Structure 1
Amino acid sequence: MGMGKEERQLIAKRAAKEISSGMMVNLGIGIPTLVADFIHDSSGVMFHTENGILGMGPSPEQGKEDGNLSNAGGYPCSIVPGASFFDSATAFGMIRRGYLDITILGALEVSEKGDIANWIVPGKRVPGMGGAIDLAQKAKKVIVLMSHTTKGGSPKIVKECSLPLTVKEGAHLIITEMAVIEVKQDGLELIEVMHPYKVEDVIKNTGATLKVSDRVLVNK
């Protein structure tokens, strides 16, 4: 089942809570780009893009876009005070040296071990893997934002990924419209359930074993 704007924003808003003041964060294409809208300009958070910005701000208001400013997905963006610009080689140098505190990305599948498949569906044309592989391997914390199931209703959180992997054991946290799930060494732990879902709904729509935390938070 497809997700509406409200659910996408709910996921992005929850992801924003993982970001602390002064962090350097990369946002992937799709739902992750919405996270910038929930971070206050004065927080000192510096958003990093593969196309060469450190200090990307929220989406500009309609009519106030700058034709020279876009995020890695090619969409208009703004910048915050203290932002800097550089080439893609420098942007990837920052990623590969492990300077990013958090990367937030979308996924097609995530396994119970935290394997991520997010760059290709076999048989479909894609422009390439972009920065997905470097980002998923090198950031200090990797957060996956996605719909809990496919449009056909199949689980996207699975025992083993069937699609080509982006990274093995890369994910630390998964946030969907149904739940917040932590990837631990001994498997997946359900830590939050999103309104209006119940623990049973999350378990039923997950294709891997879920340990339910003693302190599971059911959001109203």
Structure 2
Amino acid sequence: MMDDIKLSSAQIAWRAAQDMEDGAYVNLGIGFPEMVARFKPEDREVVFHTENGVLGFGKAPPEGEEDWDLINAGKKAITLKPGSAFFHHADSFAMVRGGHLDLAVLGAYQVAQTGDLANWSTGKGGVPAVGGAMDLVHGAKRVAVVTDHVAKNGSPKLVDKCTMPLTGVGCVTRIYTSLAVVDISDGHFILREKLASLSFDDLQAMTGAPLIIDGDVSDLAVPVL
């Protein structure tokens, strides 16, 4: 697969951001998922939550103007919006476990057609612990994944069954990839959008489980970023 026919990370994040609902309370996973906040539609109010204890934070500050007492769970500098709140780490996880988050957006190594998620590893170069992800995938009302469609070695990330350690079972409902938007329903991958330049057969060949067409499949259209 040529890089020029797949979306960039910024474009994947943009597409995921368009589905955040007005008034939603949202947690973004460490790393790539944090980019989703950049593309929040201007006409929507979204309250971002970070598990180290901040609710309602804003954009990253300009370089050189960081206050390193104000960071998110990924240790990146943040700013505060009017009405922002600080609280204990334990209270933050009580919000997660109590079902008060509308959406969690996470990265993935693998997602199974049953909605199982594997997004952590103790291998070299990986985050050395699962962190709050196990709480997020079962505490948030909806869990979405942003990811490249295939791994760096070309193997599918959307699979029949995860072979890596699981973060959660049956938790993911939508996947935004570099090639497509896929829903998970009744143990199947349901194709909702795909790049117009990519045939269904080519997309299926890069997917480790059957893609089901249920209704119209729209073109995956994103801006140049």
Q: Same fold (TM over 0.5)?
A: yes
Aligned twin of 1:66: 67
Greater shift, 67-76 or 109-118, is seen at 67-76
Question: Hey, what does 1:110 align to over in structure 2?
Answer: 111
2:121 alignment counterpart: 120
| CA shift digits 1:165-218 (9 cap, x unpaired) | 111101000011101000001411010013543323321110011102321001
How large is the RMSD of aligned CA atoms in angstroms? 2.1
**Structure 2 residue aligned with 1:180:** 181
Q: Check 1:85–1:166 CA distance in 2 against 1; reply closer, same or farther (3 A cut).
A: same
- How many angstroms apart in 2 are the aligned matches of 1:189 and 1:144? 14
Map 1:15-30; keep pairs closer than 5 Å: 15-30=16-31
Question: Residues 115 and 187 of structure 2 are in contact (CA less than 8 Å); yes or no, is this contact kept in structure 1?
Answer: no
Is contact 1:2-1:150 (8 Å) kept? no
Tell me by how many angstroms 1:100 deviates: 0.3
For 1:125 and 1:175, the matched residues in 2 are separated by: 21
Q: How much does 1:40 deviate?
A: 4.9
Normalised to the residue count of structure 1, the TM-score between the two structures is 0.92
- Using the alignment, how far apart are the partners of 1:121 and 1:163 within structure 2? 11
Structure 2 residue identity aligned to 1:140: K
- With normalisation by structure 2, the TM-score equals 0.90
Residue 211 of structure 1 corresponds to 212
Q: Spell out the pairing of 1:137-216 with structure 2 (5 A cutoff).
A: 137-194=138-195, 196-216=197-217
Q: Which residue is equivalent to 1:85?
A: 86
Measured against aligned partners, the alpha-carbon deviations of 1:44-82 in whole angstroms (never above 9, x if no partner) come to: 211000111101212222223222111101111222221
Distance 1:147 1:82, change over 3 A: same
Take 2:138 and 2:209, find their aligned partners in 1: how far apart are those partners? 23
Gaps of 5+ in 1: none
Shift of 1:11: 0.8
Deviates more, 1:28-37 or 1:64-73: 64-73
Read off the aligned partner of 1:133 and give its amino acid letter. Answer: M
What secondary structure is seen at the aligned counterpart in 2 of 1:104? strand
2-side partners of 1:128 and 1:2: how far apart?
33
Aligned residue pairs: how many? 219
Which ranges of structure 2 fall in alignment gaps of 5 or more residues? none
